[in-house]
Amino acid sequence: MARPVAFRSAGVEDVDAILTLWQLGGVDHDEVGDRFEIVTKLDYDGDLFVVAARDDKVVASVMGTYDGHRGRIKRCVVDPAEQRSGVGRQVVAELERRFIARGITELRLEVWADNIGAQTFWSTMGWEHLEDIRYYTRSLRTD
Protein backbone atom coordinates (compact mmCIF):
# COMPACT_ATOMS: atom_id res chain seq x y z
CA MET A 1 0.00 0.00 0.00
CA ALA A 2 1.30 3.45 -0.95
CA ARG A 3 2.26 5.75 1.87
CA PRO A 4 0.13 8.88 2.31
CA VAL A 5 0.87 12.14 0.55
CA ALA A 6 1.65 15.24 2.60
CA PHE A 7 0.79 18.71 1.30
CA ARG A 8 2.74 21.84 2.20
CA SER A 9 3.85 25.16 0.82
CA ALA A 10 6.90 24.90 -1.40
CA GLY A 11 10.16 26.11 0.06
CA VAL A 12 13.57 27.02 -1.26
CA GLU A 13 14.72 23.50 -0.33
CA ASP A 14 12.23 22.16 -2.93
CA VAL A 15 13.50 24.09 -5.95
CA ASP A 16 15.65 21.30 -7.42
CA ALA A 17 12.95 18.68 -6.79
CA ILE A 18 10.33 20.88 -8.47
CA LEU A 19 12.59 21.44 -11.48
CA THR A 20 13.09 17.68 -11.77
CA LEU A 21 9.34 17.11 -11.47
CA TRP A 22 8.60 19.66 -14.17
CA GLN A 23 11.11 17.97 -16.47
CA LEU A 24 9.60 14.53 -15.76
CA GLY A 25 6.14 15.95 -16.38
CA GLY A 26 7.08 17.34 -19.77
CA VAL A 27 6.88 21.03 -18.88
CA ASP A 28 8.94 23.17 -21.25
CA HIS A 29 12.32 23.18 -19.58
CA ASP A 30 14.43 26.30 -19.32
CA GLU A 31 16.31 25.65 -16.09
CA VAL A 32 17.42 29.25 -15.55
CA GLY A 33 14.00 30.74 -16.33
CA ASP A 34 12.13 28.03 -14.43
CA ARG A 35 14.39 28.37 -11.38
CA PHE A 36 13.82 32.14 -11.43
CA GLU A 37 10.04 31.63 -11.68
CA ILE A 38 10.03 29.23 -8.71
CA VAL A 39 12.26 31.35 -6.46
CA THR A 40 10.31 34.51 -7.31
CA LYS A 41 7.02 32.75 -6.58
CA LEU A 42 8.27 31.66 -3.16
CA ASP A 43 8.66 35.33 -2.24
CA TYR A 44 5.22 36.32 -3.56
CA ASP A 45 2.13 34.40 -2.42
CA GLY A 46 4.35 31.46 -1.50
CA ASP A 47 1.46 29.94 0.45
CA LEU A 48 -0.26 29.40 -2.91
CA PHE A 49 2.61 27.24 -4.23
CA VAL A 50 1.74 23.73 -3.05
CA VAL A 51 3.81 20.58 -3.23
CA ALA A 52 2.70 17.04 -2.52
CA ALA A 53 5.35 14.75 -1.08
CA ARG A 54 5.34 11.01 -0.57
CA ASP A 55 8.20 9.55 1.48
CA ASP A 56 9.95 12.96 1.32
CA LYS A 57 9.88 12.96 -2.50
CA VAL A 58 7.98 15.74 -4.29
CA VAL A 59 5.44 13.93 -6.49
CA ALA A 60 3.22 16.88 -7.50
CA SER A 61 3.23 20.65 -7.46
CA VAL A 62 0.89 23.44 -8.41
CA MET A 63 1.36 27.21 -8.42
CA GLY A 64 -1.44 29.56 -7.50
CA THR A 65 -1.30 33.29 -8.13
CA TYR A 66 -3.59 36.19 -7.37
CA ASP A 67 -3.74 39.47 -9.24
CA GLY A 68 -6.24 41.18 -6.94
CA HIS A 69 -9.15 40.15 -9.14
CA ARG A 70 -8.85 36.42 -9.91
CA GLY A 71 -6.82 33.49 -8.80
CA ARG A 72 -4.87 31.64 -11.42
CA ILE A 73 -3.56 28.10 -11.45
CA LYS A 74 -0.23 27.49 -13.16
CA ARG A 75 2.09 24.57 -13.71
CA CYS A 76 0.13 21.76 -12.15
CA VAL A 77 2.50 18.83 -12.61
CA VAL A 78 2.27 15.26 -11.32
CA ASP A 79 5.12 12.76 -11.51
CA PRO A 80 4.19 10.35 -14.34
CA ALA A 81 4.59 7.43 -11.88
CA GLU A 82 1.88 9.02 -9.70
CA GLN A 83 -0.59 9.97 -12.43
CA ARG A 84 -4.05 8.45 -12.07
CA SER A 85 -3.43 7.92 -8.35
CA GLY A 86 -5.58 10.88 -7.30
CA VAL A 87 -2.65 13.01 -6.17
CA GLY A 88 -3.34 15.57 -8.92
CA ARG A 89 -6.90 16.05 -7.72
CA GLN A 90 -5.68 16.24 -4.14
CA VAL A 91 -2.99 18.87 -4.76
CA VAL A 92 -5.49 21.01 -6.69
CA ALA A 93 -8.06 20.62 -3.89
CA GLU A 94 -5.44 21.78 -1.38
CA LEU A 95 -4.68 24.85 -3.51
CA GLU A 96 -8.40 25.57 -3.87
CA ARG A 97 -8.78 25.39 -0.05
CA ARG A 98 -5.99 27.94 0.25
CA PHE A 99 -7.66 30.23 -2.30
CA ILE A 100 -10.96 30.03 -0.41
CA ALA A 101 -9.22 30.75 2.92
CA ARG A 102 -7.94 33.99 1.37
CA GLY A 103 -11.39 34.88 -0.03
CA ILE A 104 -10.37 34.13 -3.62
CA THR A 105 -13.30 32.39 -5.31
CA GLU A 106 -12.90 33.10 -9.03
CA LEU A 107 -10.16 31.11 -10.75
CA ARG A 108 -8.67 30.74 -14.21
CA LEU A 109 -6.05 28.59 -15.87
CA GLU A 110 -4.60 27.98 -19.30
CA VAL A 111 -3.92 24.69 -21.07
CA TRP A 112 -2.01 24.29 -24.33
CA ALA A 113 -4.29 23.15 -27.17
CA ASP A 114 -2.23 20.01 -27.80
CA ASN A 115 -2.23 18.91 -24.14
CA ILE A 116 -5.24 16.60 -24.35
CA GLY A 117 -4.41 14.88 -21.03
CA ALA A 118 -4.53 18.19 -19.16
CA GLN A 119 -7.75 19.22 -20.91
CA THR A 120 -9.35 15.95 -19.84
CA PHE A 121 -8.04 16.34 -16.28
CA TRP A 122 -9.43 19.86 -15.84
CA SER A 123 -12.76 18.97 -17.44
CA THR A 124 -13.23 16.04 -15.06
CA MET A 125 -12.38 18.41 -12.19
CA GLY A 126 -15.40 20.54 -13.10
CA TRP A 127 -13.57 23.31 -14.96
CA GLU A 128 -15.40 24.92 -17.88
CA HIS A 129 -13.64 25.44 -21.22
CA LEU A 130 -14.33 28.96 -22.51
CA GLU A 131 -14.45 29.05 -26.30
CA ASP A 132 -14.80 32.82 -26.47
CA ILE A 133 -11.49 33.78 -24.81
CA ARG A 134 -8.25 34.15 -26.73
CA TYR A 135 -4.99 34.15 -24.82
CA TYR A 136 -2.33 36.64 -25.92
CA THR A 137 1.27 36.95 -24.82
CA ARG A 138 4.08 39.43 -25.30
CA SER A 139 7.62 39.45 -23.98
CA LEU A 140 9.22 42.73 -22.97
CA ARG A 141 12.66 41.15 -22.41
CA THR A 142 15.48 42.73 -24.32
CA ASP A 143 18.12 40.04 -23.80
pLDDT digits (tens, 9 = 90+) for 20-70: 999 998 887 788 889 999 999 999 889 999 999 999 899 999 999 999 899
Please count the CA atoms within 13 angstroms of the CA of 106 that sit on its side-chain side: 4
In this prediction the pTM is: 0.89
Straight-line distance from the first to the last Cα atom of the chain, in angstroms, rounded to the nearest whole number: 50
CA atoms of 34 and 9, how far apart (whole Å): 18
- How much is the average pLDDT of 86-111? 95
Percent of the chain with pLDDT over 90: 62
Paired residues of 20 in beta bridges: none
pLDDT of 40 reads 92
pLDDT of 138 reads 87
pLDDT of 142 reads 85
CA atoms of 20 and 99, how far apart (whole Å): 26
Tell me how many degrees the CA angle 8-10-16 measures, rounded to the nearest 5.
Answer: 130
- Check: CB of residue 51 under 8 Å from CB of residue 42: no
The residue extents of the domains of the chain are 6-109
Give whole-number Cα distances, 142 to 136, 138, 139, in Å.
Answer: 19, 12, 9
pLDDT of 16 reads 95
Q: In this structure, which CATH number among 3.10.310.10, 3.40.630.30, 2.40.50.100, 3.40.50.620 belongs to the domain 6-109?
A: 3.40.630.30
pLDDT of 1 reads 54
